Chain A
Amino acid sequence: MRRISAIFILLILTFVSVHAENQHNEWLDSANQAYTNGDYTQAIDHYEMILEHGYESAALYYNLGNAYYKQNIIDKAILNYERALLLKPNDEDIKYNLEMANRLTVDRIEKLPEFFLDVWFRNSINWFSSNQWAIISISAFVLALIFISIYLYTRKYGIKKLSFWLGLALVLVTIFSLIFSYQQKKKIIIKDTAIVMSPSVTVKSSPDLSGTDLFVIHEGTKVWLQDEVGEWKEIKLSDGSKGWLRTDDIEEI
């Protein structure tokens, strides 16, 4: 009897969750429709509602960013494009629109030249999202085991040699994709970048209102978070300059 009731409850829960998912998809559809009709305010409302319920996807953030862009709220547009890019790091459309939005920001910050291996490594990580890398690592692992088996059981010399090298390569793929998957996950979980949301922020030399004013940055600028003291965060710009600003002036990606 207990088992039956447990199954029953489980069924109800599944039904409810399926129902909720349908509800979210309906919101998403109506938001997309509103966007198409040019009613960006309503589109924003619905997209935000889905996010409030704890659901997300790259397309959702991207669409929300588009709606904010159309409403000329550039800082939020950039924030959402960046979030979309975290979930889907190699999407052409997201990159293009982020670039468009970045052109409308006030601050032009020179980027520091980077070591080519760093860039290469980061670009490789960004080929896929965390989940995609995880799936790749599992598939590569399974394939590697299959090739190892072939290596062990075959008596033919050529096949044995081939499967040995393939298996070895796949083990490497497994390890690297695991590392990449972890890196991508870390980027999302450990929030180390943020977007300036206040129209104009004075960056101080110390986490204190009396600190020397170092420079002024404006809304839409991306900053890297370095340290935190109470209400204050230490940030770094892409040109390498560092300083402190208040937590309310920025929003983490």
Chain B
Amino acid sequence: MKRWFVIILLLMGKCSVAQDVSITVSAPGVVEMGQRFRLTYTVNTQADQFLPPEIKNFTVLAGPSTSTSSNVSIINGKVTRSFELKYTYILEPVKEGTFKIQPASVVVDREKYVSKPIEIEVVKGAPAQNQGDAQTKTNPQQQHDPNVSQIKKSDLYISIIVNKQKIYREEHLVATIKLYSRLNITRLENAKLPSFEGFLTQELETPPLTSLNREQIDNQVYLTGVLKKYILFPQKTGTLTIEPFELDVYYQKPSDRRSRSIFDDFFGAYENARQKVVSNAVTIQVEPLPKNRPYNFSGAVGDFNLTATIDKNQVNSNEAVTLNVKISGNGNLKYINPFDIDFPADFDVYDPKVIENIKYSENGAYGNKTFEYLMIPRRAGQYTIPKFSFAYFDTKSNQYKQQSAGPFTIQVGKSTTDTSLGIARAYNKEDVQYIGKDIRFIHTKDTRLYKKNKFLLGSRWFYISYLGAIFIFFLVLFLRRKSIKENADIQRARNKKANKYARKRLKNAARLMKQNQRAAFYEELVKALWGYIGDKLGIPAAHLSKDTVREELVSKNIDNHSIDRFLSIIDRCEYARYAPVTEETKMDTLYNDAIQVISRLQQKLK
């Protein structure tokens, strides 16, 4: 009190006549139950006396305490002074409601200046919107002093926030692990990350947690901080669960031993406490991709663009050509496989070089992936790399899309250094290269249709043909038998009659001999001999000759002597017929010989 007086006296000496003295009051318009706040009266000059206000419905925790500040500025020789004297109370509400604090007053130069009254609304733990303005002036650390009671769940929690809960397989989602607190956090420890089962994860960089942000949730002000951020690619379909995130939080809480001292309240009688915080679990519904997937779909999901370039269109054989296939866009680029491109069979193609340039952000993975195909054409000619396409599932329109590139034409000239190889190749035949396998083409010829289950076996025609064949066989057999039989009858008849005819002819010949008709006699005798042998052997007259007769007689086992004799008689008769010789006796002997031969043959041919 004495010191104050010294200061006041010092200042008073310097002080010029007090101009407009003003006294203002400031306090938050709305406070929560249990929240401490300041009530400050500011006077712009040195006051002689402070008449404190009547404070009802609030507990005065401390005060009034005074503080002064003075400020002298000299601008262009002009001296400006300002002075502030503050009386500060620290109050705590007792009950809810709107309360008026009656004005305080100061006495300056024996004059009394009165402040305005102020109204303060006390709410139950839900601060009004306009409190924020008031709070900014004050120390936030004190604003969020924890309650004396135990911390509530809503004061400190961690949540896993996902941007989508229903996605397609391989589509990305962003999971953010965020801390919400109304406590005075000092340290975070023992973070236990979820396992993200069923997902491929890629962590995103988050700013270090040096300071927390302020965020308003459900009309309450929270300090928030992003702990971790991930991009997740689900690898399975169905319901996947992201397990809770666990963290130990160290924070300051007011000491239980409450001291009556003002300074304890002021500078914080706090002690460290630890709280284990477990976040919520999140379930994600992962849908399979639609069934109508294109044949060339290999799992790319996202939004892509395909470009392909070839570095040369004209090369010589055995020179390298590069085909660059670049896929850029947003999605699971990492899992895009090299293409199946039908390179000409005469090209040596090496496995593509894959260049990935993928960045991760909240929008998922984006960037590009390049496949570099190195090809070496081995023969001259014009080749075409056919059009190839890339199928992906577009997550924007939720359907499959195709992007294609090509065809590329490459003119391959003959390499000058290639000649030796060309000569060597002339001896070096190549196997036929099988490029693909497919079933054989349909049959378009020989397409006669038959009634179902119609078989030749057992059908009418089957039996008819068999029976017909048998019938014809037996018919032929029968006819043949019959004709043989008839032939045999004729034979027998001729055989029987042979002797008779021969005798008749011989009798006739004998008569002619007596009449001495030589020519007629010989003719009759020859006829008798031929006729006899023809009838006897069954040889038709047309086939009668000496040879056939000899053959037949040999086959009938007639001795050569008799055959010779028989044939010589015929010879002699033939000769005599045309010879001019006239011998009566000879006719006689010839006649007797003929009778002898015939009778002998008659015996042997029986």
Contact = CB atoms under 8 A, between A and B. Distances in A.
B606 interface: no
B480 A185 contact: no
A96 B437 CA distance: 11
Contact of B457 (A21, A56, A130, A149): A130
B479 to A, nearest CB: 11
Contacts of B469: 138, 141-142, 145
A93 B465 CA distance: 33
B440 interface: yes
B449 A145 contact: no
A93 B452 contact: no
Given A138-B462, A145-B469, A145-B473, A57 B442 contact: no
A58 B446 CA distance: 9
A182 B444 CA distance: 29
Contacts of A55: 449-452
Contacts of A93: 440, 443
Nearest to A69: B439
A189 interface: yes
A134 interface: yes
B15 interface: no
A185 B453 CA distance: 9
Contact of A152 (B439, B448, B470, B477): B477
Interface in A7-24: 21, 24
A56 B455 contact: no
A141 B446 contact: no
Interface string A126-142: 00001101110010011
A252 B452 CA distance: 15
Contacts of A185: 455, 457-458
Interface in A39-94: 50, 54-60, 62-63, 66-67, 69-70, 93
- Which of B438, B441, B443, B472 has the most CB atoms of chain A within a 10 A radius of its CB? B443
Contact of A138 (B440, B446, B450, B466): B466
Contacts of B51: none
Given A35-B442, A142-B469, A135 B456 contact: yes
Contacts of A188: 453, 455
Range for the number of chain A residues in contact with chain B: 35 or more
A36 B473 CA distance: 52
A94 B458 CA distance: 27
B165 to A, nearest CB: 33
Interface in A116-134: 130-131, 133-134
A14 B223 CA distance: 97
B457 A100 contact: no
A130 B458 CA distance: 11
A134 B439 contact: no
Given A54-B451, A55-B450, A141-B469, A66 B442 contact: yes
Contacts of B444: 32, 59
Contacts of A25: 447, 449
Contacts of A35: 442
Interface residues of B, number: 30
Nearest to B446: A59
Given A63-B443, A145-B473, A148-B473, A138 B465 contact: yes
Contact of A60 (B440, B449, B451, B480): B449
Given A60-B447, A141-B466, A131 B455 contact: yes
Contacts of A63: 442-443
A28 interface: yes
Given A25-B449, A134-B456, A97 B473 contact: no
A54 B452 contact: yes
A70 B444 CA distance: 17
Q: SS class of chain A's interface: helix, strand, loop or mixed? A: helix
Contacts of A130: 455-457
Contacts of B472: 145
B554 interface: no
A153 interface: yes
Contact of A56 (B450, B462, B466): B450
Nearest to B474: A145
A97 B470 CA distance: 44
A181 interface: yes
A17 B439 CA distance: 35
A195 interface: no
B447 A28 contact: yes
B485 to A, nearest CB: 14
Interface string B454-497: 01111000100110011011001100100000000000000000
Contacts of B473: 145, 148-149
Nearest to B465: A138
A101 interface: yes
Contact of B439 (A59, A60, A100): A100
A24 B450 CA distance: 11
Nearest to A153: B480
A14 B448 CA distance: 17
B487 to A, nearest CB: 13
A148 B472 CA distance: 13
A60 B451 CA distance: 12
A66 B477 CA distance: 54
Contacts of A50: 449
Given A57-B450, A100-B437, A138-B469, A149 B456 contact: no
A178 B452 CA distance: 21
A239 B462 CA distance: 39
Given A56-B450, A141-B469, A32 B442 contact: yes
Nearest to A47: B442
A97 B440 contact: yes
A25 B477 CA distance: 47
Nearest to B464: A138
Nearest to A141: B469
Contact of B455 (A69, A134, A152): A134
16 contacts: A28-B447, A32-B444, A36-B442, A54-B451, A56-B450, A58-B443, A66-B439, A66-B442, A93-B443, A97-B440, A130-B457, A131-B455, A131-B457, A134-B455, A138-B465, A138-B469
Query: Top 5 closest A-B pairs, CB basis?
Result: A134-B456, A59-B443, A55-B449, A63-B442, A97-B439
Interface of A: 21, 24-25, 28, 32, 35-36, 50, 54-60, 62-63, 66-67, 69-70, 93, 96-97, 100-101, 130-131, 133-135, 138, 141-142, 145, 148-149, 152-153, 178, 181-182, 185, 188-189
Given A35-B442, A56-B452, 18 more contacts: A25-B447, A50-B449, A55-B451, A59-B443, A59-B446, A63-B443, A66-B441, A70-B439, A93-B443, A96-B439, A97-B440, A130-B455, A130-B457, A131-B455, A145-B469, A145-B473, A188-B455, A189-B453
